[in-house]
Amino acid sequence: MISAAPRLALQAERELEALVGVSTPSGDVAGAEEAVALCVAFLPPEAQVERLDCSTTAHAPDLIGRLDGQGTMRVLLLGHLDTVVTHAAHRSLERDEDRLTGSGAVDMKGGVALALGVMRELAGRPGLYAELALLLVNDEEWRTARFGHADRFAGFDACLCFEAGERTARGEEAVIVKRKAAGTLRVDALGRPAHSGSAPHKGRSALLALAAAAQRVAAHHDPQGADRLTAVPTILRSGEAFNVVPPTGELVCDVRADRLAAFTPVIESVPEEIDEVKLETTLVRAWPGMDTREAAAPLLERATAALGRPVVASERGGASDASHMAQTIALTVDGLGPRGGGAHTPQEWVSAKSLHTRAEVALAVAAALLEVPPARSRR
């Protein structure tokens, strides 16, 4: 199987260009539908296509491509098509030597292209699996609702997610088997307006109350502690006029830790009122942590043997849909996509060479999972 990597990588670069050419900001139905149509065209012709309601309302339905086989394993390939980039800021793919720069290239249309290639490669080997499914969602970047698909795949034997790949400091190919829990904390403030020049004492400033709340949240920041908690205020909105005590406002904080339970003290540290300004604190997004190191270790040993160079376990602080799937599929491995950088920025890029090397990694992991013997043993 690994010998298919050059062909897979060549096709992946062409499909990456097509996918990046479509602007797909999260929540834009027309863009999502165009990207889904491309992916349907790139699926193996024998794949059955299904559309599922997206976890987030008013989004385009998600896509499942499914292959039936004669084996015993049920395997899910996982990715997303939405980006954080607006239509106005969208960049089509441009090549500068090894760099393929474009919106969503590394997060995660490069990974989607590799997942499609693995799907096509396995379509010709139906004896290796009972069911192979590719799930592509349209709301990963901005989802606050409950992830709606984990239960559907609860009986599957493994999940392979194609978020961006990486290398260790020693140059070893790495995959992701541990992620932090992630949450978005919002604090809404209701104070009292007043003229900031003639009667500031009559007002109650939502801005100052939220600034105090931000300090309380930040005081819990302890990345070296037992839960490796990070608590970072990221957005503060308050005030509409330069001469009015701001009566309302909103504070948003990003919180991450090894456990969702670690967020509770942060939430409880924000009181219901500061200086007569009422505060309402809500955890608007809560994604579970992921730790599949134990389940994945034997698989990575076999993948290393198949590839002929190390495939090692790594961890990442960023959230992923793999975290949701890991709650019901014990053997979940992420980070199978190409390497790159600049995610969520205008400079987002993928290494063209890594499409080949990471195709080898993905095929080695798939071969190890499905216990495909090396080519030399079949002669």
Q: What is the pLDDT of residue 373?
A: 60
Examine the domain organization and report whether 169 and 195 are in the same domain.
Answer: no
Average pLDDT over every residue of 141-145: 91
Count: domains in the chain: 2
CA distance 254 to 5: 38
End-to-end CA distance of the chain: 14
Give the number of other Cβ atoms within 10 Å of residue 274's Cβ. 21
Q: Which residues pair with 133 in a beta bridge?
A: 66, 76
Average pLDDT over every residue of 265-280: 98
Q: At what angle do helices 5-20 and 110-123 cross, to 10 degrees?
A: 130
In this prediction, residue 374 has a pLDDT band, given cuts at 50, 70 and 90, of low
CA distance 223 to 353: 34
> Which residues, other chains included, contact 332 with Cβ-Cβ below 8 Å and sequence gap of 6+?
158, 159, 160, 161, 177, 290, 292, 295, 296, 322, 325, 326
pLDDT per residue over 323-335, tens digit each? 999 999 999 999 9
Tracing tokens 């969503």 back to the chain, one arrives at 104
CA distance 55 to 137: 9
Examine the domain organization and report whether 151 and 202 are in the same domain.
Answer: no
| DSSP assignment of 346-376 | TT-EEEHHHHHHHHHHHHHHHHHHHTPPPGG
Amino acid identity at 262: A
Q: What is the pLDDT of residue 376?
A: 38
Examine the domain organization and report whether 153 and 188 are in the same domain.
Answer: no
Examine the domain organization and report whether 54 and 119 are in the same domain.
Answer: yes
Which of 39-43, 142-146, 153-157, 201-205 bottoms out in mean pLDDT, i.e. has the lowest?
142-146
Examine the domain organization and report whether 170 and 195 are in the same domain.
Answer: no
Based on the number of CB atoms within 10 Å of its own CB, is 376 exposed (0-12), middle (13-18) or buried (19 or more)? exposed
Domain end, chosen from 234, 252, 286, is at: 286
Q: Which of 146, 179, 183, 182 shows the shortest CA–CA distance to 163?
A: 179
Instruction: Write the CATH number for 242.
Output: 3.30.70.360
Examine the domain organization and report whether 154 and 233 are in the same domain.
Answer: no
CA distance 367 to 2: 8
Mean pLDDT of the chain: 95
In this prediction, residue 319 has a pLDDT band, given cuts at 50, 70 and 90, of confident
Average pLDDT over every residue of 241-254: 98
Domain end, chosen from 264, 286, 308, is at: 286
Examine the domain organization and report whether 85 and 96 are in the same domain.
Answer: yes
Examine the domain organization and report whether 49 and 154 are in the same domain.
Answer: yes
What does the chain come to in residues? 379
Based on the number of CB atoms within 10 Å of its own CB, is 362 exposed (0-12), middle (13-18) or buried (19 or more)? buried
Examine the domain organization and report whether 54 and 151 are in the same domain.
Answer: yes
> Which residues, other chains included, contact 169 with Cβ-Cβ below 8 Å and sequence gap of 6+?
none
Examine the domain organization and report whether 335 and 361 are in the same domain.
Answer: yes
Structural domain harbouring 10: 2-180+289-378
Q: What is the pLDDT of residue 285?
A: 93
Examine the domain organization and report whether 280 and 304 are in the same domain.
Answer: no
| DSSP assignment of 207-250 | HHHHHHHHHHHHTT-BTTSTT-BEEEEEEEEE-SSTTB---EEE
Q: Characterize the bridge pairing of strands 277-287 and 273-274.
A: antiparallel
Domain end, chosen from 223, 251, 286, is at: 286
Examine the domain organization and report whether 152 and 274 are in the same domain.
Answer: no
pLDDT per residue over 45-89, tens digit each? 999 999 999 999 999 999 999 999 999 999 999 999 999 999 999
Q: Using alpha carbons only, what angle is made at residue 181 by residues 254 and 361, rounded to the nearest 5 degrees? A: 115
Instruction: Write the CATH number for 301.
Output: 3.40.630.10
